[in-house]
Structure 1
Amino acid sequence: EFASFYKTLGAEVTVVGILDRVMPVEDEEISGLAAKAFTKQGMKLKLGTQVTELKKGADSVTCTLKGKDGKTEQVTVERVILAMGIVGNVENIGLEAAGIKVEKTHVVAGKYGETGVDGVWAIGDLVGAPWLAHKAMHEGVIVAEKIAGVKGVHPLNTSNVAGCTYCWPQVASVGLTEAKAKESGRKIKVGKFPFIGNGKAIALGEADGLIKTVFDAETGELLGAHMIGAEVTELIQGYVIAKTGELTDQELAHTIFPHPTLSEMMHEAVIAADGAALHI
């Protein structure tokens, strides 16, 4: 997100990643399209690369990089942003003494946010992935309702929490990637629909992008949905609702999507899983 943000503002940006692809948690096909888009914008991607040293100068930083082949190079830049992941603020605040369990810098909490200690609940980034504001807010509602004694409180299902990356182009997803779905041992079917086949996308000048669905081929269960392109962080909620409501491929196929909208691509990506896409 920060790389895309600064590139859009006109800065020269180099992204160094130790893994072999950008956005490694996303579906591999979506990740590849994102890398292609970033490169086209002029962003430099150095993947499968380690940062072994950072040397700060008066007005610059010299970075020593080591590739998979063992070769090193130096890149001098004005600023470095280092992303190292998220850890909980759990040290030296008395959690263990209070009987609260901590594992890998995160508080261990139950499905309703309970910690096992009366009167102490935990939510958000502190209790682990996904580290997202909308997930944390929903956990807060769950805890508040549980404390208030509301009946029928539903625990959080993290597989139905959408991930959104606010770069350009936007990326959004929910559920299993195609690779993870295959690893689960299920027989799957995959549907894809490109933005270039959608009139609204063309009219907006946003014809680059893809929507992808992953279904259980036997039950029709929606296992995952993955998107890249304009406003996909808005579109993804449609699939989140479908997953939460346990809608099948056929129920989604029988749903009428308004025209002309970007959301029509969601329908096309569903029926494409059965080879029945209409506008491509």
Structure 2
Amino acid sequence: MTYCVALRLETGLVFLSDSRTNAGVDHVATSRKMSVFENPGERLMVFMTAGNLSISQSIKEIIGERVNAAGKTIWTVDSMYEAAQIVGEVIRSVYEREAQALEKFGIDFNVSIIFGGQIKGERCRLFQIYSAGNFIESHNENTYFQIGESKYGKPILDRVITPASSLDEAAKCALISMDSTLRSNVSVGLPLDMLLYEKDTLAVTRFVTIGEKNQYFQMIRENWGKQLKSVFDGIADPVWNANPETTSNVLSAQGSRSEPLVVTPPQGIGNDSQPAPLQTLAQGGNGRQH
């Protein structure tokens, strides 16, 4: 019951998360999914979670104090890669402690994490970390990560976002992605947390919690559907059973041999009625060609 998205751009990073944890008929609950680890001027790291809330909270509480084999924590490691390794180690330690007990109650060890930011001296980096503690990193071929209810908000990201997108363009796209998810899935809900990080600032400079009355998000919710309907109405309807050389937008060419896969009734089942002739969309009710 979550949707989180993060985007890695040439100019920085964008993070967006919802806050719904339960959407039952008589019980709707919220909990913030985004946490920020910040040492201004030295490092900034953002942590977003989906999955079992108790597992996510346990991981978050341990991360800041976890010491790796080299004696370092996320506050002292030299790279975001090493910080992501520490997060993975924490996930595995929580699994070892909790998974067997959870299994007895039929509960899966389910957690997904987006972890990103910048440590002074290196570039912005973004990771998606899985329940096993392994992770992948964002590159130009996959410039964003999603966790939770991701399918509804994915198409707009695929069509719009590139590494060259500006932070504000990416913020707008992420909010449209979130709005699409909110409209299609009741398990995702307001308020939202959004953080825009401009590379090399090494501090939180743009953060907002978005509720129902947020002016910009209200505008997106009202206008995005209208704009989509306008674009939809501007696309011509398909033409059936026509010659592509004499008309455009032909979906089924005249004389084509396309046929459906027909299942015939078993023997002994009769049908005295005569089937109506198949009418194509290129024909009106009087059989005339358009």
What TM-score results when the alignment is normalised by the length of structure 1?
A: 0.27
Larger fraction in helix: 1
Q: Relative contact order: is structure 1 or structure 2 higher (C-alpha 8 Å, sep ≥ 6)? A: 2
Larger fraction in strand: 2
Question: Which of the pair has more CA radius of gyration?
Answer: 2
